[in-house]
Structure 1
Amino acid sequence: MNMIGQSVDRVEDDDLLQASTRFVGSLAFENMLHMHVVRSPYAHARLKSVIVGKAASAPGVVAVWTGNDIRELPPIGFRRIPDRDLLQHRQPVMASDELRYVGEPVAIVLATDPCLAEDAGRLVAIDAEIRPPVLDCGPETDTRTETRMRGGNEVARIEKGYGDVEAAFAAAEHKISISCRLARQTAVPMETRGAIAVPHPGAAGFDLYGAAKVPHANRQELARMLSLDIGGVVLREGHAGGGFGVRGELYPEDVLVAFAALRLRRPVKWIEDRSEHFLAINHSRDQTIHLDAAVSKTGVIAALRARIATDQGAYLRTHEIKVSDLSCAFLPGPYRIPAYQATATVHLTNKTPCGTYRAPGRFEATFAMERMIDAIAKALELDPVEVRRRNLISATEMPFDRQIEATGKRVVYDSGDYLQTLDTAIRAFDLPELRRTAEERRQRGECIGVGLAMFVEKTDTALHETARLELASDGKIEIVTGTSSLGQGMETALAQIAADGLGFPIDVFRIVRGQTDRISQSGGTFASRTTVMAGSAVHEACRIFRQKLIETCAALLDETTDRATLHREGCRINGRNVGLSELRAMIDASAPSTQLVAEADFSSGAMACPYGVHIAQVKVDPDDLSITVEKYHIAYEIGRAVNPDLVKAQLLGGAVQGIGGALMEEISFSSDGQPLTTSFADYVTPRIVDVPAFEILLLEDWPSPTNPLGLKGAGEGGINAAGAAVAAAVEDAFAAKIAPRQLPITPRALFDLLSKTDDRLTSPLLRR
């Protein structure tokens, strides 16, 4: 049927629009309790005691527990263990001796009503000895306090590199240095976190509703922490209102809900409010990158040094030091870079712990690398596009071994022609005309700029993926997968792959996802892997299922398989059409216990690497220095698009998030460690009026050799280079008199940059 490549409507939207699917917040169970988390009001303190007497006697309260009541629970583990010394920095489920960030769980209240639980929580008193907080990564940090931070609060150091960097710098005609800074941000999905644990009879385990992203990994960790057989832990995913890296990790609240349900033998529900979300969910970014480049007079980079410092917050959570590792590994981007040396240090501070956020490590690395390319162009008086051309890896060098590893896996760019994509983007979006028009508008007094940035992404193929196809009792074919829906349209993509593989209409298929009792294994949904990994597993399962359909139909009709084929409605054999519902009825009549099932695994030894070009056009208001992105263009090489409209939607949504990170989103703290951004009144995100005119070009010139369908991921290409492209456009708007190297570029930050220039007449604000 050739369904791959078609922009069909999303199959999941009917359920969402008709409200026939339910989010965790709307679920309820008989005799259910509600959990409220009492959180630390201090960034750093020694915890003396938690006084719970008044709360325990409040109306509707069933139990109040502190860290001393759950000491048997171990800290939350990592997905991988890069260094066993890091285990000491894992987050405990509740604080018992020391408070390390505002928002850290100190006690939980369990009551018959959520309002009663919250009211009782206000009666919990915390007796603590306040200590000075550690709020930055610098060597001046006070390490005399009794924290687990050591050596200037550095807890990990990552080294990567190849080639003779020293020799390249010694011979260099030019040495160029820049420093970049990315603020602390978080993902703020529309739906905050939530969980309901429903205990099984006989204390054998529980069902956990509200799972997202990685149900199987979280099931394994919950079973370990709660000393349960893994078969007794069942995670159930519904729909989720966004993910973006922060939803679905295993948090203290998930463990506490399950623990309380097991101990009290009643269902327990917890729903996060938005204020809690800003205090407790993973933050990200908060990275400083210093680059030194050894460059020839023609702008060719001979060597690159990188020093990266990451403020990780108070603990290492599920993803440990992964973001810093990814920044080191992907900083060279699409450029050849003959010699490279990177050092990343990870630091603990008294802030909310950090994790991943869409394009983790790559958004940061791309920003720094692209800013370096623009700095080289400015220093040597070259066109920034020409500097890129002279440094890009060529198509003849593919696959290109980067000679470094990312999170334990060799980085090899699988396929592509970066120069071809750059030139295609320049022609398709008419970059010369964009530049000419911007210059004309500048001549008329407007502050307009155009910026370009390139990037390489990765599709994570870590862990194998399993897919199961089963002919259900109603004649539908169920596609059972452990991957998760986070709003990205994965149900549609997998159904299209199955429809293509079997030749059936797309409405024949029903997706069952994120139910750990329906499928034994899954890596989950992260790092743009779902369509590549689960899609490839579905593709293979279809091959097996096709053969089983033919064999089953032939056996039931006492025919040979060579006389059977598939058609749009089911199976055709010896001139007779047998629909799927009829086939199911025949199976039930002759062998009721028979299942028509095919299961297949897919694994890949290499990551698929999509890549592309971002071009941004911005306008700066001279009165208040606010920045508006007027136009945004993306050219993206995806290898092969299962559903082009879904890919474009992913790219557009990612770019809007990137614009938010470039211009407005920042989590800040007071000098005593108090968060200053705990609501949308303080944390500014893009509105619909901030979305620019978009033009997106999908390219399918270089299918990936890492999987049978040639797929590359789509989830993070839209955000990856957004910060770099917007910063370049702002620099262009001021005729390169400033060089923004810190995100976000708020009006205040832009004012500070302009204040340092000789030309103080650019803005009316500076003339006052």
Structure 2
Amino acid sequence: MSDAETADSEPVDVEGTGSDEDAYMGRREKRREDAALLTGRAEYTDDHEPPGTVHLAFVRSEHGHADLEGIDASAAEAMDGVLGVYTWADVDASPSPGRLPLSGLDPDVPAHPILATDRVRYHGQPIAAVVAEDRYRARDAVDAVEIEYEPREAVVDPRAATDPDAPQLFEAASDNVATAAEMGDADTTDEAFSAADRTVEIDLENNRLIPSALEPRAAVAEFDADDGFTVTMTSQSPHGHRRKLAHTLGVREGEIRVVSPRVGGGFGHKGHHHPGEAMAAWCARELERPVKWTATRSGNYLEGAHGRDHRTTAELAVDDDGSIRGVRAETVANVGGYGLGGGARMPVRYGRLLSSQYAIDAIHCETRAVFTNTAPIHSYRGAGRPEAIYVTERLIDIAADELGMDPVELRRRNLLEPDEFPYETPVGATYDSGDYEPAMEKALEAIGYDEYRDRPEFRPGETNAPDDDGLVRGVGVANYVESTAGGFESGLVRALPDGDVEVYAGTHSHGQGHETTYAQLVADALEVPLERIHVSEGDTAAIPTGTGTFGSRSTLVGGNAVVESAEKVLAKARQIAAAELGVDPERVEYEDGTFTVLEGDETVSFAEVADVAYGWNTPDGLEPGLEATTFYESEGAAYTFGTHACIVAVDPDTGDVEIERYVAVDDCGERVNPLIVDGQVHGGVAQGIGQALYEAVAYDEDGTLLTDSMDDYGVPRAADVPPIETDATVTPSPLNDLGVKGIGEAGTIAAPPAAVNAVCDAIGVDHVDMPLTGERVWRAIASEQKE
């Protein structure tokens, strides 16, 4: 954390955007959540253990692809403390459909079963469920279940999976293609390429990642014949999970209550429906006892949704003066062994951001999403935006080298101008607002870009000369846009009789700081002290409905929803105050929690009005109570943008890479709490650096996951993440009254291309695939030296 992140709360002023000293908007308020989190008083799902709780564990497939010839659970069932061992036959004989909901695919492609049917399609797929009195006996019983397999040939590479001779996972998915789509106009793009002075091409891999939240997925399911299910679980979308659980269990949504307490990180994979939560609920009904399931770290790695995993060939057409004419991309994206929710549709939309910050008249993108014998893939922090921006930002650096032009100058010549917004790209995205050059110039100045390029050690197009310490250094820059928000969100604001205010939102925080941000917004709207605002999320019984937290959407839709509800509450409070003061509402002004008669001395406080609202003498025509609910729907996506830059040092003898400086300049519109914005940028950059330098999922040719623990999967440690210098510009979104945009995924979008551009600049090569391990970088240097 930077010093700025630990500073006392204070108003800020960025790029001329003024801040009212009395307003909470723009203050660096410390997060209200943190005291409970840091002292261990916060309750997570695994802390919840109702009386009589029993424990669930899974027997998982040892093969990437195999037929199930037999399951012998007799030894496990005979063990002391084991209450049941269940297979697909038991689920199939129950009233539950037993499959996770699936969207966007051929209806003949089967959805993911909560327990394997007659065939397993990835290593770690759940085959049987064991329930025992405690988690240790459950795990012992898992080892006692004997599975007879008939192995099948596996395929793990998505490009290889499209070969007609490759093993087929589903009859309804010819050549293993789950879905395919194209964006942009092929003919226009072909013409742009024909007319261009030059073209450059790249073949790259966007490496597969595993979400590694501090808290693994978990659920505690309770069942009552009269009240239905209560499922306490880790969730980014409690109402979404209620709907998906209802589908899998074959019950009405009203029969399920989902409660999501504190959530220790999500990054996408806690927004999806998985076998664990569904099976816990199924077993709770079967046994009529509370059933707890907490994923092990290795179980989460085996069966939790993975992310990314694209193979892309892309081209950029450019004239000698640096004008970009067009971009073409062809991508094969991995879906895994089953479609998971809408995960198979996600890759075919990634091309919408290939334009990045640039005026590119012609873009054409073809994408195929492909089944393989690997864990299912769904959204991982960024969900398509990092993949698209990585393609474009890598192409621009390669094109600059081809032209003999500074890569920043090539970017500068093609930036969209502020008066071009709203701007519709050739692939259908409509950018709401932007002013790209000031953010880029801030980043360049902060990193010392010009000074770096003037160093005698800098040698464009070849390996830079070593510094006195023997290391070669490089600088990388990446511009980005991030589409944020979408859909609707609910927000309820209720004033209590004593003037305290309760806020309920359909989003759910898993590190974003909603309890602080929403309180700041409502405190401003009602002009009441921050400490009188109490924010709640995560209980489908308390909140009308909601969409959830993902895609950097919460402040844009959730924030606007609670503000609109607060404004409705204030409007009703004004009517009550007017009645109390004996004047028309138009004659009442409101400031700092007090209603005052214009040109008079009579006053009534907000708390006094709230007390009247719940009394026996509510003014005529007004219902008792003082609350309002809003279902806010965004007018469209708001596009955050920015520039990240970093300097790396590479050891030419070993290929080891160290990021020495990292600068992030982001523009997410108006910033409710810059401290929380900085925190989100820090977290995203750390994950982006993880992808660039350390993280990659590895399967062997039989579909066995080789990186099934933190011993093998390279999550960056604290020492691996450099200090992150943050700054901002402010370009409000015209699509919402708050002028806000999202920020949660910016770092994961910008950091990978910035880091790869820097390493390629240092060692003088066109491209090295992520992660930039010492061996890969060393081999790239050796190859360059041979040439």
Normalised by the length of structure 1, the TM-score is: 0.93
Contact preservation (8 Å) 1:571, 1:580: yes
Matched, 1:68 2:89: yes
AA aligned to 1:602 is: Y
Question: Deviation of residue 553 (structure 1)?
Answer: 4.3
Question: Deviation of residue 200 (structure 1)?
Answer: 3.1
Indicate which of 411, 431, 437 corresponds to 1:419: 437
AA aligned to 2:739 is: G
CA distance in 2, matches of 1:432, 1:127: 65
Contact preservation (8 Å) 1:211, 1:514: no
Aligned residue for 1:17, secondary structure, equals helix
Alignment coverage as a number of residue pairs: 747
Instruction: Map 1:639-718 to 2 at 5 A.
Output: 639-700=669-730, 702-718=731-747
Contact preservation (8 Å) 2:768, 2:780: no
Instruction: Map 1:69-218 to 2 at 5 A.
Output: 69-71=90-92, 72-78=96-102, 81-82=103-104, 84-85=105-106, 88-137=109-158, 138=160, 139-140=162-163, 142-143=165-166, 147-148=170-171, 150-162=173-185, 164-202=188-226, 204-218=227-241
CA distance in 2, matches of 1:575, 1:257: 62
Matched, 1:245 2:263: no
Judged with a 3 Å threshold, the aligned counterparts in structure 2 of structure 1 residues 33 and 223 are, in CA distance, closer, same or farther, namely same
Q: Deviations over 1:667-694 (max 9, x none)?
A: 1012221111111111111111112132
Q: Deviations over 1:705-758 (max 9, x none)?
A: 111111010101112111111111111212x2x223411111121122223223
Contact preservation (8 Å) 2:180, 2:348: no
Contact preservation (8 Å) 2:521, 2:563: yes
Question: Deviation of residue 567 (structure 1)?
Answer: 4.7
Matched, 1:30 2:51: yes
Partner residue in 1 for 2:42:
21
Aligned residue for 1:376, secondary structure, equals helix
Indicate which of 521, 533, 536 corresponds to 1:512: 536
AA aligned to 1:750 is: V
Q: Deviations over 1:407-460 (max 9, x none)?
A: xxxx20111122333233323443212434583783534211111111111112
Partner residue in 2 for 1:457:
482
Instruction: Map 1:4-19 to 2 at 5 A.
Output: 4-19=25-40
Matched, 1:527 2:551: yes
Aligned residue for 2:144, secondary structure, equals coil
Question: Deviation of residue 510 (structure 1)?
Answer: 0.5
Aligned residue for 2:443, secondary structure, equals helix
Indicate which of 500, 505, 515 corresponds to 1:476: 500
Partner residue in 2 for 1:549:
573
Partner residue in 2 for 1:620:
650
Structure 1, gaps ≥5 residues long: 406-410, 761-768
Indicate which of 308, 313, 336 corresponds to 2:359: 336
CA distance in 2, matches of 1:577, 1:478: 24
Question: Deviation of residue 550 (structure 1)?
Answer: 2.6
Partner residue in 1 for 2:750:
721
Partner residue in 1 for 2:308:
285
Judged with a 3 Å threshold, the aligned counterparts in structure 2 of structure 1 residues 31 and 194 are, in CA distance, closer, same or farther, namely same
Q: Deviations over 1:158-208 (max 9, x none)?
A: 111136122222222212111111221112010000001111342x42111
Partner residue in 2 for 1:752:
779
Question: Deviation of residue 522 (structure 1)?
Answer: 1.3
Q: Structure 1 residues 414-423 or 448-457, which shifts more?
A: 414-423
Aligned residue for 1:458, secondary structure, equals strand
Aligned residue for 2:716, secondary structure, equals coil
Matched, 1:502 2:526: yes
CA distance in 2, matches of 1:18, 1:757: 53
Contact preservation (8 Å) 1:528, 1:714: yes
Partner residue in 2 for 1:442:
466
Contact preservation (8 Å) 1:77, 1:221: yes
Give the root-mean-square deviation of aligned CA atoms: 2.2
Question: Deviation of residue 404 (structure 1)?
Answer: 2.8
Matched, 1:742 2:769: yes
AA aligned to 2:36 is: D
CA distance in 1, matches of 2:382, 2:739: 21
Partner residue in 2 for 1:763:
none
Judged with a 3 Å threshold, the aligned counterparts in structure 2 of structure 1 residues 740 and 641 are, in CA distance, closer, same or farther, namely same
CA distance in 1, matches of 2:40, 2:610: 30
CA distance in 2, matches of 1:230, 1:380: 59
Aligned residue for 2:416, secondary structure, equals coil
Indicate which of 233, 250, 254 corresponds to 2:256: 233
Question: Deviation of residue 579 (structure 1)?
Answer: 5.4
Q: Structure 1 residues 167-176 or 627-636, which shifts more?
A: 167-176
Judged with a 3 Å threshold, the aligned counterparts in structure 2 of structure 1 residues 287 and 89 are, in CA distance, closer, same or farther, namely farther
Partner residue in 1 for 2:616:
590
Partner residue in 2 for 1:404:
427
AA aligned to 1:451 is: G
CA distance in 2, matches of 1:40, 1:473: 57
Contact preservation (8 Å) 1:476, 1:508: yes
Aligned residue for 2:122, secondary structure, equals coil
Partner residue in 2 for 1:364:
387
Normalised by the length of structure 2, the TM-score is: 0.91
Judged with a 3 Å threshold, the aligned counterparts in structure 2 of structure 1 residues 642 and 210 are, in CA distance, closer, same or farther, namely same
Q: Structure 1 residues 690-699 or 554-563, which shifts more?
A: 554-563
AA aligned to 1:718 is: G
Q: Deviations over 1:566-597 (max 9, x none)?
A: 45456567756655665555555537994321
Question: Deviation of residue 537 (structure 1)?
Answer: 0.9
AA aligned to 1:723 is: P
Q: Deviations over 1:556-575 (max 9, x none)?
A: 67665456554545656775
Q: Deviations over 1:201-257 (max 9, x none)?
A: 42x421111242111122112222323222221111111111111123111111111
CA distance in 2, matches of 1:86, 1:688: 46
Aligned residue for 1:757, secondary structure, equals helix
Matched, 1:318 2:341: yes
AA aligned to 1:413 is: Y
Aligned residue for 2:574, secondary structure, equals helix
Matched, 1:634 2:667: no
CA distance in 1, matches of 2:294, 2:152: 31
CA distance in 1, matches of 2:60, 2:78: 20
Q: Among all aligned residue pairs of Structure 1 and Structure 2, give the percentage whose two residues are the same amino acid.
A: 32
Contact preservation (8 Å) 1:103, 1:280: yes
Q: Structure 1 residues 585-594 or 152-161, which shifts more?
A: 585-594
